[in-house]
């Protein structure tokens, strides 16, 4: 691994107070980046003042979308230490995605050392306010300037840090979701199981439409417009009368870290949890029978996002009276507690900087 060169910023930006933090709008003083070239391997790594990245306009990322990202969080723990939630999960998912997109994944040591040293340099950006965290955005792009269609032979891996407040202020809110029965986010054999930027490009139009109709996000269905896949940019769970269901990982669903964490916590608590195909017809039917008790999304940014209403072709299904249900609330509190260090971390999910 190349030694990480360091050029620190002569000035320090003011850190916005927690109440003014908007997701993804503020960045720390520095960023980390590393270069790869075929034959040379990863040959240069730097921590530098946050600023623009100069690339050849013919770089493959601009033309053929060779781009992959991750999303993870660091927390100021109750004892003042910094803890990072399951960073190995994110590195391993980046490796899987890189294989699918023919990108060169950063080795684990480079990923972890870059992360560790960047957070050390920008430690003051890790918020200590209740509900706040430091959102971490590792990104991998093809940078070779060449218009032929084949995988790039040069890559840049970089990490950005962005302080984040609790996703939904107020904490007790539910979201209204539009069931999307035309557009698809991903299809079998495609990129759906990777955090490719391209999946987001595919999802923007339906998300915008949903907002115009007064809904926060869409519920994505499969190619048959039947099987439920995800909710917005989150995995989705349904609490039915007799079991808790999340769609099985079928190749077009993103394997979320929070999905995995929620599954483990629920199973540990003895809940009956199924990873299986669940259709929108089944959800509508169970709702009509009063057997849909709760629905919620899981993801790093919001942790747990309870769904208060689904709109299927103009028919609304109100869930748990537009209020967060007990399963969602319990998971939210447990996960946030583990992240903050106030709930026992039985699975060893939290890593200190020294452990990276």
Q: Which residues bind ligand PLP (CB under 6 A)?
A: 71, 195, 230, 233-235, 254, 256-259, 298-300
In the complex, what is the shortest distance from the CB of residue 38 to ligand PLP, in angstroms, rounded to a whole number? 28
Nearer to ligand PLP, 45 or 252 (CB): 252
Burial (0-12, 13-18, 19+ Cβ within 10 Å), 124? exposed
* Closest-approach residue to ligand PLP (CB): 256
Nearer to ligand PLP, 197 or 324 (CB): 197
The CA-to-CA distance between both ends of the chain, in Å, stands at: 15
Phi, psi at 67, each rounded to 5°: -150, 140
Structure tokens at 298: 């899981």
Helix (H), strand (E), coil (C) string for 56-67? CCCEHHHHHCCE
Structure tokens at 85: 């939630």
Distance CA 237, CA 153 (A): 40
Sign for the CA dihedral angle at 18, 24, 25, 26 comes to positive
In the complex, what is the shortest distance from the CB of residue 28 to ligand PLP, in angstroms, rounded to a whole number? 20
Nearer to ligand PLP, 45 or 162 (CB): 162
321: left (phi over 0), alpha (psi -120 to 50) or beta: left
| Nearest residue to 349 (alpha-carbon basis) of 223, 262, 254, 282 | 262
Length of the chain measured in residues:
356
In the complex, what is the shortest distance from the CB of residue 13 to ligand PLP, in angstroms, rounded to a whole number? 26
Contact between 96 and 194 under an 8 Å Cβ cutoff? The reply is: yes
DSSP 216: S
Distance CA 159, CA 70 (A): 9
In the complex, what is the shortest distance from the CB of residue 261 to ligand PLP, in angstroms, rounded to a whole number? 8
Nearer to ligand PLP, 155 or 237 (CB): 237
In the complex, what is the shortest distance from the CB of residue 211 to ligand PLP, in angstroms, rounded to a whole number? 17
Nearer to ligand PLP, 136 or 353 (CB): 136
Structure tokens at 112: 């972890």
Nearer to ligand PLP, 90 or 117 (CB): 90
Nearer to ligand PLP, 4 or 72 (CB): 72
Nearer to ligand PLP, 116 or 195 (CB): 195
In the complex, what is the shortest distance from the CB of residue 10 to ligand PLP, in angstroms, rounded to a whole number? 35
Structure tokens at 80: 């003042």
In the complex, what is the shortest distance from the CB of residue 36 to ligand PLP, in angstroms, rounded to a whole number? 24
| Nearest residue to 158 (alpha-carbon basis) of 78, 239, 48 | 48
In the complex, what is the shortest distance from the CB of residue 330 to ligand PLP, in angstroms, rounded to a whole number? 18
């Amino acid at each position: 691994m190349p030694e990480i060169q360091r050029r620190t910023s002569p000035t320090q930006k003011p850190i916005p107070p927690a109440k003014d933090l908007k997701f993804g709008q503020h960045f720390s003083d520095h960023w980390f980046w590393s270069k790869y070239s075929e034959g040379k391997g990863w040959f240069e790594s730097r921590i530098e003042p946050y600023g623009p990245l100069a690339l050849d306009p013919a770089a493959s990322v601009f033309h053929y979308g060779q781009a992959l990202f991750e999303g993870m969080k660091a927390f100021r723990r109750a004892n003042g230490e910094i803890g990072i939630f399951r960073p190995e999960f994110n590195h391993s998912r980046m490796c899987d995605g890189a294989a699918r997109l023919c990108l060169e994944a950063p080795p684990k040591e480079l990923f972890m050392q870059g992360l560790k040293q960047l957070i050390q340099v920008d430690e003051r950006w890790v918020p200590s306010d209740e509900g706040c965290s430091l959102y971490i955005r590792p990104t991998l792009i093809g940078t070779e300037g060449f218009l032929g269609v084949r995988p790039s032979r040069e890559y840049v891996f970089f990490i950005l840090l962005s302080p984040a407040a609790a996703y939904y202020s107020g904490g007790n809110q539910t979201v209204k979701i539009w069931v999307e029965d035309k557009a698809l986010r991903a299809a079998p054999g495609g990129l759906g199981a990777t955090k490719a930027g391209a999946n987001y490009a595919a999802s923007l139009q339906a998300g915008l439409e949903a907002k115009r109709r007064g809904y926060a996000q869409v519920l994505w269905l499969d190619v048959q417009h039947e099987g439920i896949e995800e909710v917005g940019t989150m995995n989705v769970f349904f609490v039915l009368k007799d079991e808790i269901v999340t769609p099985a990982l079928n190749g077009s669903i993103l394997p979320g870290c929070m999905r995995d964490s929620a599954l483990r916590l629920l199973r540990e608590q003895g809940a009956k949890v199924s990873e299986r195909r669940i259709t929108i017809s089944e959800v509508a039917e169970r709702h009509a029978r009063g057997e849909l008790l709760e629905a919620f999304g899981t993801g790093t940014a919001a942790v747990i996002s309870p769904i208060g209403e689904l709109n299927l072709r103009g028919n609304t299904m109100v869930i748990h009276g537009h209020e967060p249900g007990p399963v969602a609330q319990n998971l939210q509190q447990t996960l946030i507690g583990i992240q903050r260090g106030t709930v026992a971390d039985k699975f060893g999910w939290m890593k200190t900087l020294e452990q990276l």
